[in-house]
């Protein structure tokens, strides 16, 4: 049996929550390996709706959930999320949730700087969630981060806060924002310590034991390939590497343990926040996709921008992300549209290219080249086999496979877990 890594193949919000939940029911452990509480997965199980940001989706299925060292953790947000799902009847204890002791923490000064810098950008905003993810990753790279293990050492916390505040208070004062007092921050962290430390451990040891025992491991990615800090539409990206290769480094396992990589893509395209979006629709069709797809960010609440399926973008995500197969979601949102368009490449100053270039100026000039397909009038919602799909819907899916150069191994036709068509079991490798 193979392990499985799930990553977004577009700009995020592709419906990973449902797919991960469906896979988690068959896994032994679910691992978050990057990002922070800027990610959001909505899980619909029966009459219950769970909105998760930091907790691995496995907690909904009674499986072991793991938050890896590649994640930046806001301890208050994590504890608040634990309390929220407990109120919905889920048990979250150190028995079913483990946290890497070397994961970096998000402190109150991180979102303060995040929001202040975004305000200072004015009309050039990146579209950050303002939750401190970027500044926390900056501290990690600059070797001044406070990590989970540091909560057990008050002297270490005190020394590290001196260094942090020298850096942050200078920046905050320059931006005209209120600065922070060391003692208040220290007291805050010491109060959180006994609530967080029972979940902490040297996670690499447990992950090695799980792998050796042949347990099924599901790696749960956040955001998506085109938001990767290296490979995405920079600078309109997140602050971590979102590709499947990070599943290994972000959890303490070797790269051979990652296994089958499942990329998630919508049957159309959406994006939250700023940045290039060649196939974006500003007309009634774009409004229709947003309304039908209930396109509001789980974390931000902001309405997502909507457009036609961008096969050139997904093909790029497949190549960079190491995707072996696609899970195509929200096919039912396209029901009844007389005509569908698929972007096969871009015109940039007259030249045809099949990928988004790295330069922001070229990205902004990319005009989509479309292939037009006939739509379908019959409903695909709730379909659970190929036989349930209209012929034109099948043609649409098959054409996507050809253009992105990857097979569609799973097809989702509603938010419900059971409304899924499986062509290949990712756990079979």
Task: Give residue 49's Cα distance to chain centre.
Answer: 18
Distance CA 95, CA 118 (A): 39
Cβ–Cβ < 8 Å for 269, 307: yes
Choose the catalytic residue: 37, 41, 231, 324: 41
Distance CA 241, CA 1 (A): 26
Cβ–Cβ < 8 Å for 193, 153: no
Distance CA 335, CA 376 (A): 6
**Nearest CA among 99, 148, 107 for reference residue 252:** 99
Cβ–Cβ < 8 Å for 309, 400: yes
- Residue 9: Cβ within 10 Å count: 30
Q: Is 13 a catalytic residue?
A: yes
Distance CA 64, CA 157 (A): 30
Cβ–Cβ < 8 Å for 308, 279: yes
Choose the catalytic residue: 13, 139, 310, 419: 13
Task: Give residue 348's Cα distance to chain centre.
Answer: 29
Q: Map tokens 């972000």 to a residue.
A: 250
**Nearest CA among 104, 97, 41, 47 for reference residue 70:** 104
Q: Report the relative pairing of strands 29-32 and 64-67 from DSSP bridges.
A: parallel
Q: Which residues are catalytic?
A: 13, 41
């Amino acid at each position: 049996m193979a392990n499985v890594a799930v990553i977004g193949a577009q700009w995020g919000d592709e419906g990973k929550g449902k797919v991960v939940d469906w896979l988690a029911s068959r896994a032994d452990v679910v691992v978050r390996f990057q990002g922070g509480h800027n990610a959001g997965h909505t899980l619909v199980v029966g009459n219950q709706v769970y909105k998760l940001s930091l907790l691995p989706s496995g907690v909904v299925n009674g499986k072991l959930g793991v938050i890896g060292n590649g994640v930046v953790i806001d301890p208050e947000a994590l504890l608040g999320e634990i309390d929220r799902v407990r109120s919905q009847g889920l048990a979250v204890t150190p028995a079913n949730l483990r946290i890497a002791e070397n994961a970096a923490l998000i402190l109150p000064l991180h979102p303060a700087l995040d929001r202040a810098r975004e305000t200072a950008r004015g009309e050039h905003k990146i579209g950050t969630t303002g939750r401190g993810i970027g500044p926390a990753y900056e501290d990690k790279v600059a070797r001044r981060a406070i990590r989970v293990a540091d909560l057990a050492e008050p002297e270490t916390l005190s020394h590290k806060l001196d260094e942090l505040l020298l850096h942050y208070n200078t920046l905050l004062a320059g931006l005209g924002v209120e600065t922070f007092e060391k003692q208040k921050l220290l007291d805050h962290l010491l109060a959180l310590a006994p609530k967080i430390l029972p979940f902490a451990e040297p996670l690499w040891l447990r992950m090695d034991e799980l792998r050796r025992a042949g347990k099924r491991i599901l790696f749960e990615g956040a955001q998506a390939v085109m938001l990767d800090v290296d490979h995405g539409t920079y600078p309109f990206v997140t602050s971590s590497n979102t590709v499947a290769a990070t599943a290994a480094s972000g959890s303490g396992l070797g790269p051979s343990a990652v296994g089958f990589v499942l990329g998630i893509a919508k049957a159309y395209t959406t994006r939250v926040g700023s940045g290039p979006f060649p196939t974006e629709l500003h007309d009634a069709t774009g409004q229709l996709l947003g309304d039908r797809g209930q396109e509001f960010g789980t974390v931000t609440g902001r309405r997502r921008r909507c457009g036609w399926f961008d096969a050139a973008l997904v093909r790029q995500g497949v190549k960079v992300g190491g995707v072996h197969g696609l899970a195509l979601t929200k096919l039912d949102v396209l029901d009844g549209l007389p005509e569908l368009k698929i972007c096969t490449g871009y015109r940039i100053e007259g030249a045809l290219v099949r990928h988004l270039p790295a330069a922001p100026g070229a990205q902004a000039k990319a005009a989509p080249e479309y292939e037009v397909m006939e739509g379908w009038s019959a409903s695909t919602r709730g379909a659970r086999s190929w036989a349930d799909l209209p012929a034109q819907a099948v043609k649409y899916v098959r054409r996507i496979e050809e253009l992105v150069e990857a097979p569609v191994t799973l097809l989702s036709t509603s938010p419900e877990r059971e409304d899924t068509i499986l062509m290949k079991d990712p756990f079979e490798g």
